[in-house]
Structure 1
Amino acid sequence: MEPQGKIWMDGAFVDWADANVHVLTHSLHYGLAAFEGLRCYRGKSGSAIFRLHEHVDRLFESAHIAMMTIPYDKKQVAEAIVETVRINKLDACYIRPLVYIGYGAMGVYPGDNPIKLAVAAWKWGAYLGDDALANGMRARVSSFTRHHVNVSMTRGKISGYYVNSILAKREAKADGYDEAIMLDPEGYVSEGTGENIFIVRKGRIKTTPLTSILEGITRNSVIELAREQGIVVQEDRFTRDEMYIADEVFVTGTAAELTPVREIDNRRIGNGKPGPITAALQKAFFSVVRGEDAAHASWLTRI
């Protein structure tokens, strides 16, 4: 991570190196915090944040699920995100808003500890690497199971839930893979450590329904782009072996964007290269985020 100039913290910009919290900050100990990930892209007509308002909506939904009341309204948070990009003079970046429980009472019950908000932005290229974005990544099915809906409420983007992702990612990387794919508690494919999963068979797309997975904003965008191209998209459960025999597999997410998967559990997917539907949707996605698709201009907030 390349340090930038300023981070927005509770209504004011502070120097990057001074954006600190107390070691007894409640969320640091117990993991109850909500966050978002957004991207700002450089385009022909300048830079723009992709689906800013949808991300702000989801941040508020996650905080609501976690019983945290954000001390700002949605307009103020959206403005803080835009200003964080502007003040750091970034034309392309990743943006991280974080809502957390601050210093005060210690113990599982946070009492009336203050709810804090920070927004940071930094330069970040292809999350899974440029080669994976172009040629596909290698993944393994993890030994770790994704959350049950009544253990961790899966519609919330909650910091503590990602311990599960960290363990799965470390296991996959230690075994020489780029990413992990997790199954749900009933053994069906759920999602990656930070991505939604799509498979393509016989010209149709299938993706996990909104049961054990986060309601991905990039996922939603890609489903819409696919249907506009006349591709049938089913939201339905599927098994790990259906991934093995798929013609194409790809993952989506703010960080991962749209990344092909060329191999799972040492089994080649299709011909081992990004397939035609994956390539077409990846092209359409990047056309949108770079401001080249006027039909989806409403998805962009200009900086």
Structure 2
Amino acid sequence: MAHTPNQAPTLARKPHLHVYFEGQVVEAAQALIPVTTQAFNYGTAVFEGIRAYVSDAGVLNVFRLEDHLKRLENSARLLQLDNLPDRAEMKAILVDLLRHNQASTDSYIRPLAYKKALLPGVGFGVKLSGVSSGLVINTLPMGAYMPASGVRCAISTWRRIPDVSLPARAKITGSYANSALAMESAQRQGFDDALMLNVHGNLAESTTSNVFVVKDGCLITPPLSAHILEGITRDTVMTLARAELGLKVIERDISFSELFSVDECFLAGTGVEIVPVTQIDHYSIQAGQVGNITAKVRDLYLKTVRGQVPQYAHWLSPVIH
């Protein structure tokens, strides 16, 4: 019997009305780029996906903003995206945009730095130097969109692009064609997402998130050398698991065949948050139920992002209206 992908919760999302575009806040409909824009033609842009959560006190807090902006800077440096606001200014712009949009619910923020146009005297073609840079930031309401009951993942035949071909640590827009191909293939087979192997045949990531497995009570995740994104949610999970749950956390290679003997598995990313994996290809995990350690990690993560774990209050940047 054919399976259909799990349906995520359907949420009404009325887009925020304003974006930051080329140095000013404008109505979203006015934020337009020419069809000749270099990033549009060649995928030469970098971005961040950032979440903001409403606390029990009703305050909207951006989660780990400093870390996201640091990673954006590193990604921009790789593509020689120059003349961007410094970190303090970027933070102020982003928080001010949320205020301008009167954001009062859980929200998603996407800053995107991109290559604009060839400078005068620069020859035609794809390049990094001699090209001007631009910045746009948009925000929108966003709650949880992945099912808490878990997802089913195929192991993709599409391999993760190796770091020596396209830097895995940078969130480069063009690299996401790799993820789109893997996701399309998985969903056409009736799965919800795909686990992607690297060129060495070991686990890398899912299409848009890092992966953790549980074996014998230990939390295991691929190392950065496995051609993966240095995920901020990944770091959050490892920190919380060690310090608050007392778990042993191991970063090591996970082979293809080992995936069929894990006790638990979950995905971790800013967008998906923490989502259990209940099946990998034909292999059913925990009889299709959410594992105990996965449930504990997910619960602790969701409490942390909402400011319910005081020792991690430094991860929260409040948006004061």
Could you give the per-residue CA deviations for residues 4-39 of structure 1, whole angstroms, max 9, x where no partner exists? 210001220010111111110000000011100000
Please give the alpha-carbon distance, in whole angstroms, between the structure 2 residues aligned to 1:40 and 1:3. Answer: 15
Question: What's the secondary structure of 2:159's corresponding residue?
Answer: coil
Q: Give the structure 2 partner of residue 51 of structure 1.
A: 64
1:126 deviates by 2.5
For residues 71-86 of structure 1, the aligned pairs below 5 Å read 71-86=84-99
Question: Structure 1 residue runs of 4+, over 3 Å off?
Answer: none
Mapped to 2, the partners of 1:94 and 1:58 lie a distance apart of 17
RMSD of aligned Cα (Å)? 1.2
Q: What's the counterpart of residue 119 of structure 1?
A: 137
In the alignment, is residue 226 of structure 1 matched against residue 247 of structure 2?
A: no
* 1:1-303 mapped onto 2 (5 Å cutoff): 2-45=14-57, 46-91=59-104, 92-104=106-118, 106-127=124-145, 129=146, 132=147, 134-211=148-225, 212-228=227-243, 229-303=245-319
Uncovered stretches (5+) of structure 1, i.e. residues with no partner: none
Structure-1 separation of matches of 2:143 and 2:266 = 18
Between the aligned partners of 2:129 and 2:242, the Cα distance in structure 1 is 47
Give the TM-score taking structure 2 as reference length. 0.90
In 1: Cα distance, 2:143 partner to 2:56 partner: 18
For the Cα contact (< 8 Å) 1:60–1:70, is it kept in 2?
Answer: no
Q: Aligned partners of 1:170 and 1:149: how far apart in 2? A: 23
Residue deviations 1:111-133 (CA, integer Å, cap 9, x gap): 53321011100012324x3xx2x
- How much does 1:152 deviate? 0.8
CA contact (8 A) 1:182 1:192 kept: yes
Which ranges in structure 2 are unaligned for 5 or more consecutive residues? 1-12
Counting matched residue pairs gives: 299
Structure 1 residue 70, shift from structure 2 partner: 4.0
Distance 1:194 1:282 in 2: 18
**1:37 and 1:83 mapped to 2: Cα distance?**
17
Return the TM-score normalized by structure 1. Answer: 0.96
Deviation at 1:154, TM superposition (A): 1.1
Identity %: 35
- The offset of 1:266, in angstroms, is 2.3
